[in-house]
């Protein structure tokens, strides 16, 4: 990390990052957890148009098929949206709505709100709908536990005013939790984070090593939950707690391909720990 708190930027994978990938590829049980938008998939104007880069999708599926290797997507999207745009491998675990929703396979319990939470969510949506009606280019996205204010298609001044108005109305409302990301303001009636998602997946899978990559402010919660020996990769040039950085989703494709090669070799050895030496 540089003196101003930034990790060194890279156009592609640095030798240090490649070494970290080789090291974690030798762990006994590897958890490969990826953010979706801005990480596996490029950011697009309309959320429903996002798709993973083909190279990333192929390498991610390859990792999912390996023994003692678990893949996961950890996203702010609702699970239904994440499945629709991400088309994840069948065995990939899913954390949606910033940790409020989780899918660990058939039989997983769906998120259920109590009556007070349902009523509060309706109030939140009504407040945001009033703001969107006055802010051209903004829109709302409904989630099981919240509503998202999207401002990517709005002019900068309009976007700033809309987010400011939403914050002024909701930030002190009991039971409402706000997260601001890239041209979005997330509201939820369930307090959860991607960091809690990482911890939950580590415990659920028994992972001995975790690789997590993400691009947004909300991904910092996940980077903050990584343990010694894990690998965190920031996509983009914003401030981060992650140890490593790449510039764009295309480099995540390169990362996943390099990890697939290293993990395949380690698994083939039959003793992942020995293979990492």
Class of domain 15-110+193-275: alpha beta
Q: pTM above 0.85?
A: no
* CATH classification number, 115-188, choose in 3.20.20.80, 3.30.70.1020, 3.30.470.20, 1.10.10.350: 3.30.70.1020
CB contact burial 48-82 (16+ within 10 A = b; e otherwise):
eebebbebbbebbbbbbebebbbbbbbbbbbbebb
Sign of CA dihedral 23, 25, 28, 29: positive
For the chain, domain boundaries: 15-110+193-275, 115-188
The reported pLDDT for the residue numbered 45 is 82
Give me the pLDDT at residue 238, please: 87
Q: Dump pLDDT digits (tens) for 201-218.
A: 999 999 999 999 999 999
């Amino acid at each position: 990390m540089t003196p101003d708190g930034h990790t060194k930027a890279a156009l592609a994978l640095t030798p240090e990052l490649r070494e970290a990938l080789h090291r974690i590829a030798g762990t006994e049980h590897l958890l490969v957890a990826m953010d979706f938008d801005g990480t596996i998939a490029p950011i697009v104007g309309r959320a429903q148009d996002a798709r993973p880069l083909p190279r990333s999708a192929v390498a991610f599926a390859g990792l999912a098929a390996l023994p003692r290797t678990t893949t996961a997507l950890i996203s702010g999207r609702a699970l239904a949206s994440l499945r629709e745009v991400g088309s994840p491998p069948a065995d990939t675990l899913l954390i949606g709505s910033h940790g409020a929703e989780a899918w660990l396979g058939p039989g997983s319990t769906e998120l259920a709100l109590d009556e007070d939470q349902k009523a509060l969510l309706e109030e939140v949506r009504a407040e945001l709908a009033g703001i969107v009606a006055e802010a051209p280019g903004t829109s709302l996205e409904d989630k099981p536990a919240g509503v998202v204010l999207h401002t990517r298609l709005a002019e900068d001044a309009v976007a700033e005013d809309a987010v400011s108005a939403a914050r002024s109305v909701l930030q002190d409302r009991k039971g409402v939790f706000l997260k601001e990301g890239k041209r979005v303001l997330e509201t939820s009636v369930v307090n959860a984070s991607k960091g809690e998602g990482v911890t939950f997946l580590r415990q659920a899978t028994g992972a001995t090593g975790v690789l997590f990559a993400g691009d947004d402010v909300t991904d910092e919660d996940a980077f903050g939950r990584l343990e010694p020996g894990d690998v965190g990769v920031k996509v983009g040039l914003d401030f981060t707690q992650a140890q490593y950085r790449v510039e764009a989703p295309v480099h995540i494709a390169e990362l996943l391909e390099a990890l697939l090669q290293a993990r395949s070799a380690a698994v083939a050895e039959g003793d992942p720990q020995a293979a990492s030496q």
